[in-house]
Amino acid sequence: MKLFFFFALLVFFLYFSSSTARGPLHSSLPSGFRNGSRISFSDSVRRQLFQDKQSKLSDDRAKGYMTNSDLEKAVKEFGRRCSNISRIYSIGKSVHGFPLWVIEISDKPGEKEPEPAFKFVGNVHGDEPVGRELLLRLANWICDNYIKDSLARLIVENIHLHILPSMNPDGYFLRRRGNANNIDLNRDFPDQFFPVNNDINARQPETRAVMNWLREMQFAASASLHGGALVANYPWDGTEDKRRNYYACPDDDTFRFMASIYSHSHHNMSLSKEFPGGITNGALWYPIYGGMQDWNYIHAGCFELTLEISDNKWPNANEIPTLWEYNKMSLLNLAASLVKVHCSVAIDFPPMYSYASFFSCFL
């Protein structure tokens, strides 16, 4: 059975590779890029527990990025402009009361269908804003192209795509990693290795909003967008003995496949010299606890990746168009992968196995 599964994945990977695009590798890269290697953000800085002592970003660095008000206006304008294939809703509010807006894209938004649902989450860390910018570009690109572009049309007609551009608008406003209460939201989820952390009432408002969102929606897969490295990260993020080593989850092959879709569709992520193929097991990179990725998988049956999409956590705004071009096909192909492997019998499987079942259904 295992041999068949590996063979099935291989066949599907070859099929997928032949039907997706990858951006060209240019010889000239913007600042913050190093052809598949990271700049000098240490591991202890990128994914550490939130600390009080953090330098605030300059006003100049923030120029060119959407403010929270700009983001709200952009989301609502998208809803008006693309009302035939979208709906706008909020899953809750931040500590300071800013709505956590979500864009749903589908030919039947808001309706329950036997189609898979995928979500993108940006700006989990307040000082990593590239994701919120790219996710708005993704939504607008799909809206502008779904009639004439086959990939955009494939997504609109066959999945329900949900986009949360900013999970941490307060942290973004404060230009720091944590939320308004100084809490790192990607360490705030209940964790399998720390059961004392399982009280939902002790969670931050943003964390509770996402947890309730997943309980209401049956997402097959998901990805959160981060900055500070260039790699597609998959579970497990922590280890039972707290040591740094490869700690595989039960669906390790499926997660590696998902991560490879993103990496190989990217401009240069798969060429990394630090991470073979541009992907990594989270615990092998360095263990974290209370992360959103593992909680998605354990408690909601949602296969989530953590995508580090820019070596620079907060690059100059003039680099956003380039970062969009580098990540566009990765974002589209990852969402579209649900369509390419989806079949109607998948709805008969328990949530935790729904994504894996897509592979056997397709083949």
Residues taking part in catalysis: 308
Chain CA centroid to CA 28, Å: 27
How, if at all, do strands 221-226 and 99-105 pair? unpaired
Q: Determine the Cα–Cα distance for residues 251 and 281; give it in Å rounded to an integer.
A: 12
Would you say 271 and 27 are in contact if contact means Cβ atoms under 8 Å apart?
no
Angle at CA of residue 26, ends 24 and 29, nearest 5°: 130
* 96 and 181 Cβ atoms separated by less than 8 Å: no
Helices (H), the chain: 2-19, 43-46, 59-62, 68-81, 130-145, 150-158, 169-174, 205-216, 252-265, 282-285, 292-300, 320-341, 354-362
Cβ atoms of 270 and 250 closer than 8 Å = no
Contact yes or no for 48/301 (Cβ under 8 A): no
Do β-strands 303-310 and 279-281 pair in parallel, antiparallel, or remain unpaired? unpaired
Interior/surface letters 240-255, b for 16+ CB within 10 angstroms, e for the rest: eeeeeeebebebebbb
Cβ(139)–Cβ(105) below 8 Å: yes
**Quick one: DSSP state of residue 218?**
-
- CB contact at 8 A, 270 and 191: no
DSSP string, 111-160: ---SS-EEEEEE-SSTT--HHHHHHHHHHHHHHHHTTT-HHHHHHHHH-E
Separation of alpha carbons 326 and 328, rounded Å: 6
